[in-house]
A and B are shown apart, each in its own frame.
Chain A
Amino acid sequence: MHELSLVASVFEVLEEKAREHGAVRVTAVVLQVGIMSGAVPDLLESAFEMFKKGTIAETARLEIVVVPVKVRCPDCGGEAVREDTDFSCAGCGSRRVEIVEGRELVVQRIELET
């Protein structure tokens, strides 16, 4: 349950961006959360609801975009989305794949009222 600590970082970003743009309110936040990021979307939502009271994002809605695992194969050059924990190459079966997506924990964009 480290989601509270992650959401605290979200609010640091929100406050910084609101100041930078002279915003009176943050109305929406879009987070990218990779399947392999170790963070749980439901817990991020609960933590966000707890955290937002009394802040510039009091009325903001949180949108979480879940990013599946995508692997790239250095042997055949193929890229594929993998749905279970078998991270081998779907094309040639190589095990030397590199995970290129699916570990994100990123504030993608925010909506502000100025």
Chain B
Amino acid sequence: MTTKTITVVRDLLATNKQAAAAIRAELRARGILCINLLSSPGSGKTTLLEALADCFRGRFRLAVIEGDIETERDAERIRAKGVPAWQITTGGACHLEARMIGKVLGDVPAAIDLLFIENVGNLVCPASYDLGEDLRLVLLSSPEGDDKPAKYPQAFLSADALVLTKSDLLPYVPFDPGRAATEALAIKPSLKVFTVSALRGDGIDGLAGYLTEALERLRSGRA
């Protein structure tokens, strides 16, 4: 019996990265901007999507892929806004992977402008999985506390924009948006920061403008 050591150097996320690259190429060819939403549970991802659906109505066609451990509830809320939605129930898995998106992609109508993926509520695991998106938004709600960026750096490091949600609750909770933004920018200096209240509609236009510019860049081949 001989023992030998073999150098392998294999990325454990290689399969996911390949699947994500295929999704990105397909969506870009179709002129669709794909946005992955990451946050802890209850920080307002679905409510933000409802507000964006209202804001974009008549201008852009949206579609949403919802990731949850159980239930169709989020997809039903989105459909009630007249936006097609697909629910992926992971049955316990804490994040979405690219191949799960790949399975749904064939059902997504060709004639849409923006495809949102609402990831499973979790500020840890989803950060490691590229889903083929063009933009990754990380949400942080005021009741969660402004100290979260340094505690969950991977999520903020992997994002393109930070959306501070539930600004309507700022008078009632000890949350300093400036501190949250400073901590997040120390991790990722290029983050764009938005402060919104999806319930009141505050700040939604600014975020919508950012997404519109990204869509225009993608369609003019400058993405």
Mark A residues whose CB is within 8 Å of B. 1-2, 5-6, 9-10, 13, 17, 21, 24, 27-28, 31, 36-39, 84-88, 95-96, 99, 104-114
Mark B residues whose CB is within 8 Å of A. 1-13, 15, 93-95, 97, 124-125, 127-129, 149-150, 153-154, 157, 183, 185-189
Whether A113 contacts B10 by the Cβ 8 Å rule is no
With a CB–CB cut-off of 8 A, which chain B residues contact A99? 157
CB nearest to B188 among chain A residues: A87
Whether B6 contacts A2 by the Cβ 8 Å rule is no
A1-B94, A31-B12 are known; give 18 further A-B pairs, CB within 8 A. Answer: A1-B125, A2-B128, A13-B10, A17-B6, A36-B157, A38-B125, A38-B127, A84-B150, A85-B149, A88-B186, A104-B11, A108-B7, A110-B5, A111-B3, A111-B4, A112-B6, A113-B3, A114-B2
Whether A110 contacts B6 by the Cβ 8 Å rule is yes
The answer for the CA separation of A106 and B93 in the assembled complex, in Å, is 22
With a CB–CB cut-off of 8 A, which chain B residues contact A6? 12-13
CB nearest to A24 among chain B residues: B1
Whether B8 contacts A107 by the Cβ 8 Å rule is yes
Whether A38 contacts B124 by the Cβ 8 Å rule is yes
With a CB–CB cut-off of 8 A, which chain A residues contact B1? 24, 113-114
Whether A109 contacts B154 by the Cβ 8 Å rule is no
Whether B12 contacts A109 by the Cβ 8 Å rule is no
With a CB–CB cut-off of 8 A, which chain A residues contact B127? 38
The answer for the CA separation of A17 and B8 in the assembled complex, in Å, is 8
**CB-CB under 8 A for A96 and B189, given A9-B15, A38-B124, A85-B153:** yes
Whether A109 contacts B8 by the Cβ 8 Å rule is yes
Identify which of A17, A85, A113 gathers the most chain B CB atoms within 10 Å of its CB.
Answer: A85
Q: In angstroms, how far is the closest chain B Cβ from the Cβ of A86?
A: 5
Q: Could you jot down 30 A-B contacts, CB within 8 Å? A: A1-B125, A2-B128, A5-B93, A9-B13, A9-B15, A10-B12, A17-B6, A21-B4, A36-B157, A38-B124, A38-B125, A38-B128, A38-B154, A39-B128, A85-B183, A85-B186, A86-B186, A87-B157, A87-B186, A95-B189, A105-B13, A106-B9, A106-B11, A106-B12, A108-B7, A109-B9, A110-B6, A111-B4, A112-B6, A114-B4
With a CB–CB cut-off of 8 A, which chain B residues contact A87? 157, 186-188
With a CB–CB cut-off of 8 A, which chain A residues contact B157? 36, 87, 99
With a CB–CB cut-off of 8 A, which chain B residues contact A84? 150
The answer for the CA separation of A10 and B6 in the assembled complex, in Å, is 14
Q: In angstroms, how far is the closest chain B Cβ from the Cβ of A2?
A: 4
Whether A2 contacts B95 by the Cβ 8 Å rule is yes
Whether A107 contacts B9 by the Cβ 8 Å rule is yes
The answer for the CA separation of A109 and B189 in the assembled complex, in Å, is 35
CB nearest to B7 among chain A residues: A109
With a CB–CB cut-off of 8 A, which chain B residues contact A27? 3
The answer for the CA separation of A84 and B187 in the assembled complex, in Å, is 10
Q: In angstroms, how far is the closest chain B Cβ from the Cβ of A30?
A: 9
Whether A109 contacts B187 by the Cβ 8 Å rule is no
